[in-house]
Amino acid sequence: MLVERLGLELPIAQAGLGGGLAGAELAAAVARAGGLGTVAILPPARMGAELRRARDLAPGRPIAANLLMPFTRPAHLEHVIEAGVAAVVLFFGFDAELVRRLRKAGIFVLHQVGNPAQARRALADGADGLIAQGLQAGGHLLAEQDTWDFLPAAIEIADGRPVLAAGGIHDATGVARASAAGAAGVVCGTRFLLTTECAAHPLYKRRVLAAARTVETLLFGLGWAARHRVVENAATARWCARRDAGPRAIEWVNRRTEPLARHMPLAALPLAPRTQRLALPLYSPAPAIAGMADRAVDVTPLYAGECAVAIDEVIGAEQAVAVLARGL
């Protein structure tokens, strides 16, 4: 149903990886391989241009746009619609009017959720389908349960609408398990972070490949005080040794900065890592992107899911899709 509705070959989606990690190259490579490639959120006009570039790089293939609600501005709607995306994935907030307008434009709306109440709310807002996020997931977390516990609950709530599984799926075994459990597809973030087309700083990718564990923290929460899963670096070693979440005082400061961040231009976010220092734990959610100074990887969030421990090489995104597809 999902595959036919979106014109996909495979029910395999690449998660929007924010902060510039997932741009046109990654989304288009996934789309060319038959999956759902996703351009992550950028300032509105730049996002429109990046989506059009993705469509040019993968002619005739559906492309999705990911809107992180705390950073979504009114102008995103027109740019996303004009770019002709097949689907929009919403995460971390609700806006029934946005859902209505996207659907009116013929766009399929998927809402990533982390608990039953959010699942019900997303469907009440009119979402066409859900992404059930489990605690194994990398990046920001709404999840409260293991992927395999939450997935059946979300499927029941969705009552026939498609539910995709997210969190810990990186190979054919995970895909097979998700389809056996009734998922309409899978959403993978960490697997696509570790691809050649992903714009993460090369040292960020290397740290994730070498990781022995991940940490769920609040440390990189300046302007967005939400839980996120990362691989350890100098910042987490210094500030999360006693408490994974990080110092309570910093949590307090981060929460106070949230209203300010909602009015800040999105374009300012990638500038933050330049000013971040190990000695001062005021860390924005912006990740280290290729081209930034090497020192950035020790003062920025190395977002990754628990499956980072099991992935041992960076591969092309088309190959990643092929590996996952063996589980179908």
Pairing of strands 63-68, 87-91: parallel
Minimum Å gap between C-beta 301 and ligand FMN is: 8
| Residues contacting 44, CB < 8 A, separation 6+ | 73, 75, 76, 78, 79, 266
Residue 28 or residue 89: which is nearer to ligand FMN going by CB?
A: 89
Q: Which of residues 220-259 bind ligand FMN (CB under 6 A)?
A: none
CA 319 to chain centroid, in Å, comes to 20
The strands making up 108-113's β-sheet, listed across from edge to edge, are 12-14, 185-188, 163-166, 129-133, 108-113, 87-91, 63-68, 37-39
Q: Is 150 in the site for ligand FMN (CB under 6 A)?
A: no
Separation in Å, CA 134 to CA 69, 111, 145, 166, 286: 19, 14, 6, 6, 22
- The answer to the question of residue 193 lying near ligand FMN (CB under 6 A) is yes
Residue 24 sits in the site that holds ligand FMN (CB under 6 A): no
* Part of the chain binding ligand FMN (CB under 6 A), chosen from 96-104, 150-158, 167-175, 235-243: 167-175
**Residue listed under structure tokens 């489990």:** 134
Q: Which is nearer to ligand FMN, 129 or 305 (CB)?
A: 305
Of 6 and 26, the one with the shorter C-beta distance to ligand FMN is 26
Per CB under 6 A, contacts with ligand FMN among 29-48 are 40
Among 23, 168, 246, 270, binds ligand FMN (CB under 6 A): 168
Decide if residue 17 touches ligand FMN (CB under 6 A). yes
Is residue 137 near ligand FMN by the rule CB under 6 A? yes
Q: Using CB atoms within 10 A of its CB, is residue 87 exposed (0-12), middle (13-18) or buried (19+)? A: buried
Q: Under rule CB under 6 A, which residues in 55-114 are in contact with ligand FMN? A: 66, 68, 89, 91, 112
Please, are residues 169 and 188 in contact by the beta-carbon 8 Å criterion? yes
Q: Which of 18, 23, 44, 48 binds ligand FMN (CB under 6 A)?
A: 18
Report which DSSP code applies to 16.
Answer: P
Q: Which two tokens stand for residue 243?
A: 């408490």
CA distance linking residue 272 with residue 283, whole number of Å: 8
Contact positions with ligand FMN (CB under 6 A) in 297-326? 303-305, 307
Q: Which residues bind ligand FMN (CB under 6 A)?
A: 15-18, 21, 40, 66, 68, 89, 91, 112, 133, 136-139, 166-169, 187-190, 193, 303-305, 307
